[in-house]
Structure 1
Amino acid sequence: MRMVQIEQIFPSLTWRIRHETMYPDQPFDIVKLKDDFDGIHFGLYLDHQLTGVVSLFQDGDIYQFRKLAVLPSAQKMGLGSQLMDYILDFCKIQKATKLWCNARVNAKEFYFKFGFHETDKTFFKDGNDFVVMEKELSS
């Protein structure tokens, strides 16, 4: 049985996972967000190895998550889903009313599973099509 732990981590710990997963052919600095040090970052450790990350940013009672990433070698094991469940629980504890993200269009189905819906806001960035997706959270 593999051991999974999720805990809050320092922002810079997210960068390697984001880079290897999302932008392996881009310069390393592309994964650093200007507001990283204002966010709340979670790391998923698989057998004590940092394997997945997600970052949360708060604006009043609305939260945005960014850069949900699981290392390619560990994908399709449900780890991304465990991170999503974790931040959804976290947001409920914080009395958030909404959670949203800029989803890669090719990842929409993943977010539908968690009750997110598409908005009409779409954009193209860094070679990817995105759609803003959100989920209302009952307080």
Structure 2
Amino acid sequence: MLLRQRVLWPNETTEFCRVDGDEDASHFGAFINDNLVCVASVYLTQGKARLRKFATDTDYQNQGVGSKMLSHIIQSLKSTEANLFWCDARESALDFYRRFGMTPYGVRFYKQDIPYFKMKLTL
């Protein structure tokens, strides 16, 4: 929870980063030298897998850690009943998600003044 809060919402409390359904989600973590450097959660509902709270420590960004994490998640979803993978992506990260074949849909929306788009990938 601390990594998510520090990277995604540094001006909020750790409680702000909790999501309904956390106890039923699949949680992923990447470690380097026993340090947690990347986290993501996937919520599977009715054939749709939603990525939430995906964060990489700023000291490890642009080094491929998040890319390896997302590749692993997408690959692991192919053995589930999920046929759609989607997320709310910060506008600043659209190119990152596009590299994995995800496409934006809908209109721009905001969460606390931060612009987002929905992105999806058919599995």
TM-score normalised by the chain length of structure 2:
0.94
Deviation track 1:73-95 (CA, whole Å, cap 9, x = no partner) reads 11111001011001001110114
2:92 maps to which of 85, 102, 106 = 106
Q: Separation in 1 of the partners of 2:60 and 2:80?
A: 29
Shift of 1:125: 0.8
Shift of 1:24: 1.2
Letter in 1 for 2:27: H
Shift of 1:60: 1.8
Shift of 1:134: 0.1
Residue 16 of structure 2 corresponds to residue 33 of structure 1: no
Shift of 1:27: 2.0
Shift of 1:127: 2.3
Match of 2:116 in 1: 130
Residue 52 of structure 2 corresponds to residue 66 of structure 1: yes
1:118 maps to which of 104, 110, 113 = 104
Stretches of structure 2 that go unaligned for 5 or more consecutive residues are none
Q: Separation in 2 of the partners of 1:79 and 1:61?
A: 27
Q: Separation in 1 of the partners of 2:23 and 2:17?
A: 13
Stretches of structure 1 that go unaligned for 5 or more consecutive residues are 1-14
Which runs of structure 1 show a deviation greater than 2 angstroms over 4 or more consecutive aligned residues?
none
Letter in 2 for 1:104: R
Does the residue aligned with 1:93 lie in a helix, a strand or coil?
A: coil
Match of 2:79 in 1: 93
Shift of 1:41: 0.5
Deviation track 1:13-54 (CA, whole Å, cap 9, x = no partner) reads xx1110111111222211111221121101111122111000
Does the residue aligned with 2:4 lie in a helix, a strand or coil?
A: helix
TM-score normalised by the chain length of structure 1:
0.84
Q: What count of residue pairs does the alignment treat as equivalent?
A: 123
RMSD after superposition? 1.1
1:51 maps to which of 11, 29, 37 = 37
